[in-house]
Structure 1
Amino acid sequence: MHIGLLESQVRHLLCRIKGAVTFLSRRNSMFKQFIAGSCYSYVISSKEEALIIDPHISLLDEYGQYLRKNKLKLKFIIDTHTHADHFSLAAVFKKKSGAQVLMHEKAISEVADKRLKNGDQVSVGSSTLKVIYTPGHTDDAISLYGENRLFTGDVLLIGSVGRTDFQNGSPESMFDTLQNLKNLPGETVIFPGHDYHEKRSSTLAKQKEENPFLKETDKEVFARNMRAKVIPKPFNIDNIVRLNQRGEAAALEMISPKDALTLSGKDPQVKLLDVRSALEFSQVHIKDSINIPIDMLTAKINELSQSKQSFIVLCRTGNRSPMAADMLIQSGIHGVKVMQGGMLRWQKEGLSVIKGEGGISLERQVRLIAGSLVLAGILLSWLVHWAFIFIAVFVSCGLVFSGLTDNCLMGMLLMKLPYNKKLYKTKLGGGTCAMG
């Protein structure tokens, strides 16, 4: 077996092991993958210099700990495109570290210090990444290639591709991009910006065999099929894009769970605002926290504003809370802070919680119903009429949308069922939006 192919397969195997993986490459560089929900980001380092690709706002402490532990100086921050489904950490990291923010020359950004174009190279130590312009998902999208690794952002995903209706996206451009990427060596290891099956990497050769979007060779058919997929936009997309373009995340004050506990304990005017769904809240929550699901927040803005209180916003992982905090700030509420890492980090740090009756979690409900609908569609198409197969197709498209955007439409519908609307009856200031 060729030594290069063998080495790439070993790398691929290492990257599939559960948990973020760090390993040395043949150029004495290190690489680590970080995960926040369905969002993936990467730190590449060599000779005490580092760059970060697509940093997620909920992982500020994790990145910082990794850089300090390995005695690395952050040199570059690269956003592969203007994110529309979550907040980038680029502006925050730039403010804290002084690192340069790099984006494509077509990106509308007040944060970027340097503009990249196709063929440019970005180096830290002895490790170099080549910029490949990969429009389609958006018109400012790039991928980064080096040492047999391809970081594809939201363009080429594992078994799929990014949607093409964001920020001047184009099915035709996506097709051309995929044809271009297919020319890279088959042993190239692909590291996407998203995945919802917890698949952390793949090889280009495998994707050429299995990914239906890479297998399509007719540009007209590809574009027609892409346009036929009508998928709702992510929640609060306009505000997310605006915040990422202007770098307003740098203005969000982030605090740790322990600091949130201390601050809310000292000052009765500081409230913990939990923007998870009512079902999530009923299963586990923090004592005296207020629950207003993020999709109901707009209707409660005036009430929150009139309370004259300040809020520490939290969610499950730290993905929804910056969106909610931005909504509060835009409405004129002062003293808004975001709790890093959400409930998962709160519990990981051993802080006390109140556990409810539980029931079937929303995630399990989605899996159960989606699986049942797919199975029913297949069986009915076989036993009754072929058209029933579209039930399975429709559900599958919904799951793809959920993975790409981290917004589950089925979950949102299930939240509205009476069973899932049950809330805890708590004392004043806790559970519901009782402000006193």
Structure 2
Amino acid sequence: MTTAPRTPAELDAAALRALAEDGSGPRLLDVRTPGEFHAVHLPGAHNVPLDVLREHRAELRHHLDEDTVLICRSGARAAQAAQALSEAGLPHLRVLRGGVAAWEAAGGPVTRGPARWELERQVRLVAGSLVLVSGLVGLAVPGVGLIGTAVGAGLTFAAVTNTCAMGLLLAKLPYNRGPRTDIGSVIAALRSRP
């Protein structure tokens, strides 16, 4: 019998801020791309992109506990990370509800680097451009408008499954990769925490 994926526990920005202010804050794992992370992140967060986390979840499992909060831009990728780590034996991780966007909206402190477009904004640009161009070219060339239909189907599938193939592809572009995440350095930093 297959069980449905467990919905991870959420923590709102105000609750996380209160934990951080008392000095005993949880470990913060940001699962966005290195490019997104270096553009803006919560102070003290460790960057472990979702694909790296999935690949090294068994190694990470030994250095994480229920005092870990997973973060992304809006909460969707962090929930996927929670599911991956749950399958590796860490069922009680928390996700920052609303992600970095909610944290910033609540006035939480952030560390900023060079500005970059968020991955979700890039997906909207590429998907919208494909639909617009295929619609315009479709006026002159029959059948080209079906590209827009395919993009719409892909976006619908992405919403239903809470995944995004276009986002995964865009994350592999050099612009989004940023500095490579060294899992050994992340684990060493997690070990050094008292």
Structure with a larger share of its residues in strand: 1
Paired with 1:374 and 1:290, the residues of 2 have a C-alpha distance of 37
Aligned counterpart for 1:350 among listed residues 107, 117, 123:
107
Q: Does 1:400 align with 2:159?
A: no
State how 1:364-383 maps to structure 2 within 5 Å.
364-383=121-140
* 1:366–1:410 Cα contact (<8 Å) kept: yes
Paired with 2:19 and 2:78, the residues of 1 have a C-alpha distance of 14
Percent sequence identity is 34
The one-letter code of the counterpart of 1:372 is S
Q: Does 1:434 align with 2:190?
A: no
- Cα distance change on mapping 1:359 and 1:326 into 2, 3 Å: closer
Q: Secondary structure in 1 aligned to 2:144?
A: helix
Paired with 1:295 and 1:260, the residues of 2 have a C-alpha distance of 28
Aligned counterpart for 2:24 among listed residues 258, 262, 266:
266
- Which residue in 1 is equivalent to 2:120? 363
Which of 1 and 2 has higher RCO (CA within 8 Å, sep 6+)? 2
Paired with 1:324 and 1:420, the residues of 2 have a C-alpha distance of 19
Q: Deviations over 1:17-60 (max 9, x none)?
A: xxxxxxxxxxxxxxxxxxxxxxxxxxxxxxxxxxxxxxxxxxxx
Paired with 1:358 and 1:343, the residues of 2 have a C-alpha distance of 14
For structure 1, the 5+ residue unaligned runs are 1-107, 109-237
State the 1:420 CA deviation.
0.9
State the 1:405 CA deviation.
4.0
The structure that has the greater radius of gyration is 1
* 1:282–1:424 Cα contact (<8 Å) kept: no
Q: Does 1:386 align with 2:142?
A: yes
- Which residue in 1 is equivalent to 2:86? 329
State the 1:335 CA deviation.
6.7
The one-letter code of the counterpart of 1:402 is A
State the 1:394 CA deviation.
1.2
- Which residue in 2 is equivalent to 1:257? 16
Q: Secondary structure in 2 aligned to 1:266?
A: coil
Q: Secondary structure in 2 aligned to 1:338?
A: strand
Q: Does 1:422 align with 2:178?
A: yes
For structure 2, the 5+ residue unaligned runs are 189-194
Q: Deviations over 1:332-390 (max 9, x none)?
A: 3487333344222322222210112113332332232223222332333333x313222
TM-score (norm 1): 0.37
Q: Secondary structure in 2 aligned to 1:276?
A: coil
Say what the alpha-carbon RMSD is for the aligned residues.
Answer: 3.4
Paired with 1:364 and 1:340, the residues of 2 have a C-alpha distance of 19
- Cα distance change on mapping 1:338 and 1:403 into 2, 3 Å: closer
- Cα distance change on mapping 1:433 and 1:409 into 2, 3 Å: farther
- Cα distance change on mapping 1:313 and 1:359 into 2, 3 Å: closer
Q: Give the number of equivalent residue pairs.
A: 185
